[in-house]
């Protein structure tokens, strides 16, 4: 029986509900294991016969948050087959009214298509605008959440019960969130809505585009992104730097050397103009060039930056500078210091790396294993955890296994990965605030965490059976959020330490080309492709 359950888990049809050994989760819906055993154990029932029993099973999803912090929720019912069209039925655009009751009633009806319902799409009765304008998710948050969520769900038909506030026309006439048009119409809020639908529902432009995006291989996505990211190094920070590292993985080392030349010839100095943690992480480009070319100039640049962790007498400082108490510094400083150790053979840099991680843990690691972004608030900002995740993975990659601190660093990495696995949503995304599932799914954090997990699987730090499904779901979710023109959906803006949870919940999210998000998605694509 356990083997059968594990097989279903492997197919992403069954998920263990941690903390409750006898309960398993089928998609987002809890299902008692004894009942599952009953169905599987009764001959001649087999898995191929069992799976159709899940058709029509309701699951839940978070669409977003209203201005007042109320959740907008969706219900999802599976269709009769994987190829069944998707119908989205929306009610409650004027608050909790008759349309809400009708949509809930329709959600319980029988149907062959995949049905998604949003019964209370506007709980606060806010003014709605479609297509939404302003900054997501500060201006018109309800409109912004609905617009982007609908686009990424890719329905083939949208029905809006009651007043629609122009949503039907906006969906039908626009490439929704850059994905594609979706046929939509307003209908009267009365019973039997779904019975009037035709048997054949054509595939929508949005659905077709999402399928096209999902079909891309890792190499194809990396090459697509390489057209738009990784072509400048005017600012020697990690944002262009990660894209340049990805470009080198694609074989473009000579091109990156040309971009780095002003720094190696002293035309530019990355540490004197505006030294910061961003500049420290930007030195990872020089470390990569040093490994690939053997040029000692790059090694000296890495060493010079790492030496900021020692005073004039060579005494190790409490930590690397420029951390500003933010969890970002686990990534910004630690891998660079490890690279200095690898390139020079001087173990003092590994000692410094271990000290810096311990220093940051005291500042920002929460009791539940996630990171607060800074001591100002306990908010588990998405990228504020992705930075430590990626930072620890890169640190372990170059850290000597015979060093006394290696077991502690490995445990820190494994514990963070376990904590992050618990807060990944069913689609595969990590959110702007990790433990607030109604906050927006954040693309750069998801890319970074997936790289960290995949690196752990490849090096044997993580169990593949347990963590590969997390990586696979993340990859599929990132794929649909990256357009062929380099536009990304929902990358959080640059974020210094904030004072409140609400500040993090309302950080601006992109729907445009984004150097940070593009670089991290490109890094994930090259890691998935297995490029050295």
436's torsion region: left (phi>0), alpha (psi -120 to 50) or beta?
A: beta
User: Is the predicted pLDDT of residue 465 greater than 70, yes or no?
Assistant: yes
Give residue 59's pLDDT: 87
User: Is the separation of the CB atoms in 323 and 360 below 8 Å?
Assistant: yes
User: Is the separation of the CB atoms in 422 and 18 below 8 Å?
Assistant: yes
Of the given ranges (7-11, 76-80, 117-121, 201-205), which has the lowest mean pLDDT? 7-11
Average pLDDT, the chain: 91
| Band of pLDDT at residue 298, cut at 50, 70 and 90 | very high
Query: pLDDT, tens digit, for every residue of 53-70?
Result: 344 456 899 999 999 999
The SS3 call for residue 40 is helix
d(CA 330, CA 518): 21
**Angle between helix 284-293 and 238-249 (nearest 10):** 20
d(CA 437, CA 28): 13
**Per-position DSSP letters for 380-437, written without gaps between them:** -BHHHHHHHHHHHHHHHHHS-TTSTTHHHHHHHHHHHHHHHHHT--TTSPPBSBTT-T
User: Is the predicted pLDDT of residue 313 greater than 50, yes or no?
Assistant: yes
User: Is the predicted pLDDT of residue 46 greater than 50, yes or no?
Assistant: no
Q: Over range 41-50, report the average pLDDT.
A: 37
Q: Over range 350-378, report the average pLDDT.
A: 98
Query: pLDDT, tens digit, for every residue of 379-410?
Result: 999 999 999 999 999 999 999 999 999 999 99
Neighbours of 37 (CB within 10 A): 13
d(CA 367, CA 444): 25
Query: pLDDT, tens digit, for every residue of 238-255?
Result: 999 999 999 999 999 999
- Please list the residues that pair with 59 across neighbouring strands: 76
Query: pLDDT, tens digit, for every residue of 486-517?
Result: 999 999 999 999 999 999 999 999 999 999 99
- Please list the residues that pair with 58 across neighbouring strands: 77
Question: Per-residue b/e over 136-146, b at no fewer than 16 CB within 10 Å?
Answer: bbeebbbbbbb
The first and second tokens of residue 473, run together, are 């779901």
DSSP assigned state of 494: P
| Band of pLDDT at residue 7, cut at 50, 70 and 90 | very low
Return the higher-pLDDT residue of 306 and 39: 306
The first and second tokens of residue 345, run together, are 């053979």
User: Is the predicted pLDDT of residue 32 greater than 90, yes or no?
Assistant: no
- Please list the residues that pair with 71 across neighbouring strands: 65
How buried is 312 (Cβ within 10 angstroms: 0-12 exposed, 13-18 middle, 19+ buried)? exposed
User: Is the preceding peptide bond at 363 cis, omega within 30 degrees of 0?
Assistant: no
User: Is the predicted pLDDT of residue 15 greater than 60, yes or no?
Assistant: no
This prediction's pTM:
0.90
User: Is the predicted pLDDT of residue 358 greater than 60, yes or no?
Assistant: yes
- Please list the residues that pair with 74 across neighbouring strands: 61
User: Is the predicted pLDDT of residue 40 greater than 50, yes or no?
Assistant: no
User: Is the predicted pLDDT of residue 39 greater than 60, yes or no?
Assistant: no
The backbone torsions φ and ψ at residue 332, rounded to the nearest 5 degrees and listed phi first, read -65, -35
User: Is the separation of the CB atoms in 453 and 464 below 8 Å?
Assistant: no
User: Is the predicted pLDDT of residue 108 greater than 80, yes or no?
Assistant: yes
Contacts of 249 (CB under 8 A, 6+ apart): 222, 526, 531, 532
d(CA 324, CA 277): 9
Q: Over range 137-163, report the average pLDDT.
A: 97
**Per-position DSSP letters for 295-360, written without gaps between them:** -HHHHHHHHHHHGGGB-TTSPBPSS-S--TT-TTHHHHTHHHHHHHHHHH--THHHHHHHHHHHHH
The first and second tokens of residue 337, run together, are 């210091």
d(CA 514, CA 59): 33
Give residue 273's pLDDT: 63
Give residue 490's pLDDT: 98
| Band of pLDDT at residue 110, cut at 50, 70 and 90 | confident
User: Is the separation of the CB atoms in 516 and 281 below 8 Å?
Assistant: no
Neighbours of 372 (CB within 10 A): 21
Nearest Cα neighbor of 333 from 321, 342, 316 is 321
Q: Over range 292-303, report the average pLDDT.
A: 97
């Amino acid at each position: 029986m356990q083997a059968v359950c594990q097989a279903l888990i492997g197919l992403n049809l069954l998920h263990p509900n941690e903390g409750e050994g006898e309960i398993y989760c089928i998609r987002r819906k809890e299902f008692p294991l004894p009942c599952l055993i009953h169905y599987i154990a009764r001959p001649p029932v087999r898995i191929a016969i069992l799976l159709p029993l899940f058709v029509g099973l309701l699951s839940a999803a978070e669409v977003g948050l209203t201005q007042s912090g109320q959740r907008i929720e969706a219900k999802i019912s599976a269709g009769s087959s994987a190829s069944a069209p998707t119908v989205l039925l929306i009610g409650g655009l004027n608050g909790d009214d008759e349309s809400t009751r009708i949509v809930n009633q329709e959600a319980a009806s029988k149907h062959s298509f995949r049905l998604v319902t949003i019964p209370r799409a506007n709980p606060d009765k806010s003014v709605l605008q479609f297509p939404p304008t302003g900054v997501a998710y500060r201006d018109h948050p309800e409109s912004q959440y609905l617009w982007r969520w609908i686009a990424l769900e890719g329905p083939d038909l949208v029905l809006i019960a009651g007043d629609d506030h122009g949503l039907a026309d906006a969906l039908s006439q626009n490439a929704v969130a850059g994905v594609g048009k979706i046929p939509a119409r307003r209908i009267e809020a009365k019973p039997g809505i779904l019975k009037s639908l035709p048997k054949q529902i054509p595939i929508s432009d949005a659905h077709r585009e999402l399928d096209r995006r999902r079909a891309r291989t890792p190499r194809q996505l990396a090459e697509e992104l390489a057209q738009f990211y990784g072509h400048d190094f005017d600012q020697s920070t990690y944002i262009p730097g990660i894209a340049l590292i990805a470009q080198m993985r694609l074989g473009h080392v000579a091109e990156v050397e040309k971009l780095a030349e002003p720094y190696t010839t002293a035309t530019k100095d990355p540490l004197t103009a505006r030294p910061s943690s961003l500049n420290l992480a930007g030195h990872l480009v020089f470390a990569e060039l040093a490994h690939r070319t053997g040029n000692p100039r790059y090694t000296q640049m890495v060493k010079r930056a790492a030496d900021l962790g020692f005073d004039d007498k060579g005494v190790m400082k409490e930590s690397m500078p420029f951390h500003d108490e933010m969890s970002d510094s686990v990534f910004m400083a630690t891998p660079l210091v490890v690279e200095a150790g690898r390139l020079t053979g001087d173990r003092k840099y590994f000692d410094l790396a271990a000290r810096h991680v311990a220093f940051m843990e005291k500042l920002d690691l929460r009791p539940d294993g996630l990171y607060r972004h800074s001591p100002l608030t306990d908010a588990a900002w998405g990228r504020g955890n992705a930075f430590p995740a990626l930072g620890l993975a890169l640190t372990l990659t170059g850290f000597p296994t015979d060093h006394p601190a290696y077991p502690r660093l490995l445990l820190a990495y494994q514990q963070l990965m376990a904590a992050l696995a618990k807060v990944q949503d069913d689609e595969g995304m990590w959110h702007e605030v990790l433990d607030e599932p109604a906050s927006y799914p954040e693309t750069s954090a998801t890319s970074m965490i997936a790289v960290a997990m995949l690196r752990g699987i490849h090096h044997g730090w993580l169990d593949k059976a347990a963590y590969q499904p997390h990586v696979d779901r993340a990859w599929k979710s990132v794929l649909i959020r990256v357009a062929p023109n380099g536009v990304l959906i929902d990358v959080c803006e640059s974020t210094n330490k904030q004072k409140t949870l609400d500040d993090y919940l309302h950080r601006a999210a992109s729907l445009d080309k984004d150097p940070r998000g593009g670089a991290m998605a490109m890094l994930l694509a090259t890691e998935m492709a297995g490029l050295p």
